[in-house]
Structure 1
Amino acid sequence: MNTAMPTPAPTEIERLVKGIGIPPRPEVLTRLQKEIDSPNMSLSVVGQIINGDVALAASVMKVANSPAFGLSRKVSTVQQAIPVLGSRVLSSLVAGFALRSSINGPVRLDRFWDSSIRVAQLAARLTKEFRGVAADHAYTFGLFHDCGIAVLLQRFPDYRETLQLANADGDRSFTEVEEARHATHHAAIGCFLTRSWGLAEDISRATLIHHDLSIFAPDAETEDARCRSLISLAALSDCFVNAFMRMSEDASWLQIRPHVLQHLNVDESDFHDLREMAFDLLENV
């Protein structure tokens, strides 16, 4: 079993993203993050920012009322959702909407976005079963950890073939297959994008290393060890979504599976129970 490529240094990340069109941080996300970070944050202003885009407001409401966040009551307006969800969750939802709106090009990504949203919502739901990761962080990471794939699908006409090869290669890591064909990989691109968009550093770091199996070693770097639960929940969610949508398991899951199950202390019986719960949730996403 491979242990993945060494985690790239900052200068190496810059090399890997050079020449790749990274979408700039959307204005609506900049305004929202600035207001949330203000010591005089106004819930009214936060609501105005979100309601300024009808499609954004509708997207926030849809996710807020989804089973992933398990609100005790349905909310019918953004203003109602703000105190119930909290500013951090709202920022995550807006970032997700902005991501989908920012990556446009000749290739349709409907299936990719559908899968990403399902993974994000399931990862958020799984935080109720496994403590230590906040639902908003799990949702954001679930949505963004593969965002570099969307960028590369627009950049390289033959990238779909790369995806097929990477999903089937049991000897090399996903990112090794990508870099051999395109001199870059989606983990570095996703890390660069999330940092430039002002997302939490653990989201960016976990995005960079989510194919690096060495993080599960006992002597893993402290900052990488902190990302293990985040990466594990996303990997488990990826597995369940793939099984639900495509009835398949890719090579990346088979490589990381024993590490994830050990880290989360999940045995085969637990795994099948979680899979059943996940399928019930995914039926309603």
Structure 2
Amino acid sequence: MSHEQPGCLWVVATPIGHRDDFSVRAVETLRSVDVIACEDTRHSRPLLMHYNIATPQIALHEHNERDAVDAIIQRMLRGESVALISDAGTPLISDPGYRLVRAARAAGIKCVPVPGACAAIAALSVSGLPSDRFVFEGFLPPKSSARKARLQELAGDTRTLIFYESSHRVAESLADMAEVFGAEREAVLARELTKLFETVLGEPLGELARHVVRDTDQQKGEFVLMVRGRGEDADGRVAEGLRVFGILKEELPPAKAAKLAAAITGAPRKALYGSGD
């Protein structure tokens, strides 16, 4: 069956590591379109060459997407078919492409998904954490103060939380999660999925944070961090206690704020007072 549909935008998932995860349909689609919009043409070229895909490529990344979209839309309105790929995984999932897809739909252009690998879903599938309800948060803010503020907003969420993180911030992010969510909250770190040094570690946040600090190999590569949602248990009480403590300490001395927050929420006072250092 031909994949050529004039004026169509194909959103194509690529492997996140192992090249054999590239679907037959994805390869055929990329061979048949008029042009491939790549997040980084240099990064995508080895994969395309491996599958003998000689289709012309153009760049569409976070720095040029706003300016490049109009030209790509015009090409599709003239009848050309375009495939959108990111460096790895499913486009738009913490990758460029949102503006292009939105503009294409607004212009009446058909958008067709060619599904495949997605690091967040791959990690969740082997995490052992509840998968019936989850939320994808992408990358947290790079600075600790902003990161903690965002984590505080998520502390009471009952869904499994999924984050992406970079190698130079993974240890700091885990430490902040342990502080905000509580050291006993269940978590899983998935590293280098489908690649040679793939690891999936499941431990309470406090232990996981210490593990990553001790084993510097666990600070290398690409990461998906997953945290169990708040339950009616100790870690839930600590998370709520930290939230209340954060409010009270703006007006009260830390010791008194911790004492009141512990009385209100039932969280251990030491877990709250230690977080205010």
Asked whether the two chains share a fold, i.e. TM above 0.5, the reply is no
> Larger relative CO (CA 8 A, sep 6+): 1 or 2?
1
As a proportion of its length, which structure holds more helix? 1
Task: Answer with 1 or 2: which has the greater Rg.
Answer: 2
Normalised to the residue count of structure 2, the TM-score between the two structures is 0.30
